Amino acid sequence: MNTPHRHYHRLAWAAVLLAACVIVFGGFVRLSHAGLSCPDWPTCYGKATWPKHVEEIAVANEAFPQRAVEVGKAWREQFHRHIAALLGLLVLGLAAMSARLRQRGLLQVLGACALVAVSIPLYMKQHYAASAVLTLLGELILIRAAWRWDNSDFARIGVIMLAVIIVQATLGLWTVTWLLKPVVVMAHLLGGLTMLSLLVWTAWRATPRHEMVAGGADRLRRLVIVGLALVAAQIALGGWTTANYASLACGTDFPTCSGQWWPETDFAEGFVLWRGIGVDYEGGVLDGAARNAIHLSHRLFALLVLGHLGVLIWRMMRTPGLAGWGAGLGVVLAGQIALGISNIVFGLPLAVATAHLAGAALMLFLLVSLLARLRSPRAA
């Protein structure tokens, strides 16, 4: 693959670092119950920052009587939006770099972004239909470009990442306006980790001499792909658990649940994805049996992930040149298990819960890195 600019990989690595910060800080915002601390979007109580002074807080409380200002929470939510917007600019830079060599490529990228940019003030003025149409048109332009272009110069992956981050912004909007609807919260988490994975893959592939040649690499790559799918499913279950406030469904009891190996469960109710619009999901709406079902699903699926990654780590430890990567993945896996158990036993401490999310992002980083770098001697 040919990089479109000599600093392309540096910009990509900067975006990787920022994406990781956005994900971890977003988890901190969510876990500290600050996700609805700004009732409007993209402003916070009508401000580009957030209300700080007594006069500003009084005005904000009068304008938004449904949610009183909590400065300690509002700054977290709005700061998260600002760093996410900065990430969007970095991704736009990557897309523009790669698209400028294509016929009318830069025009398509900037035109799509202009449509999305115009949709934001329309949304703020409550022209919701017009805003949605413009956003959809921008996405269609990017999807069409991704369909027509190849990835020899990172043009395809560039516009795909730009399309993903626009979807992420939309999910962030819906997270607020749909009052922490669990399916949106889970999708927002998965979208952020998808963005991180795409950026990691791009950064490695754009980095000179990135390949790791190893015997049996093709078999290892297949194991990595399955591992990625399992980890993604486990992250989705974890997102569903936290979005439904089921992290402590079993109390602080481990390995049993509320003193039982199998308490009352309701899987049908626990995994209803759509419950309509207008319900305030802050604090959760499910009963104990439904939350037990969600929580136990996350625990049990972790065993499947542990088994598969254990095989992958064992294979890597036996492959010359990959023992360090295998050991690193093993340390992260052990840390994730310890953090998951600690979340339960110690009653979901904010620092531990945030570290658990960071560990999931680090595990994805390692798996995507392996997928991007591993090559068999024949392929190399």
SS3 96: helix
Sort strands 374-375 and 212-213 into parallel, antiparallel or unpaired: parallel
SS3 161: helix
Q: Where are the beta strands (DSSP E) in 207-273?
A: 212-213
Is omega for the bond preceding 42 within 30 degrees of 0, making it cis?
yes
CA 262 to chain centroid: 31
Q: What is the pLDDT of residues 29-55, one digit of tens each?
A: 999 999 999 999 999 999 999 999 999
Amino acid at 343: N
* The dihedral formed by the CA atoms of 114, 117, 118 and 124, expressed in degrees to the nearest 10: 180
Q: What is the pLDDT of residues 347-367, one digit of tens each?
A: 999 999 999 999 999 999 999
Cα–Cα dist 15/93, whole Å = 10
Q: Where are the beta strands (DSSP E) in the chain?
A: 212-213, 374-375
pTM for this one? 0.95
For residue 263, give the DSSP letter.
Answer: -
Q: What is the pLDDT of residues 85-111, one digit of tens each?
A: 999 999 999 999 999 989 899 999 999
pLDDT, position 379: 60
Cα–Cα dist 285/355, whole Å = 26
SS3 70: coil
Distances (CA, A) of 48 to 36, 38, 52, 72, 77: 16, 11, 12, 16, 12
Cα–Cα dist 286/243, whole Å = 11
208-224: average pLDDT: 88
Residue 47 bridge partners (DSSP) = 44
> Up-side HSE of residue 314: CA atoms within 13 Å toward CB?
6
Q: What is the pLDDT of residues 281-321, one digit of tens each?
A: 888 999 999 999 999 999 999 999 999 999 999 999 999 88
Ramachandran bin of 251, using left for φ above 0, alpha for ψ from -120 to 50, beta for the remaining angles: left
Burial of residue 208 (CB within 10 Å: 0-12, 13-18, 19+) is: exposed
Identify whether the C-beta of residue 131 lies closer than 8 Å to the C-beta of residue 124.
no
Identify whether the C-beta of residue 39 lies closer than 8 Å to the C-beta of residue 69.
no
Confidence of residue 248 (pLDDT cuts 50, 70, 90): very high
Q: Where are the domains of the chain?
A: 1-210, 212-380
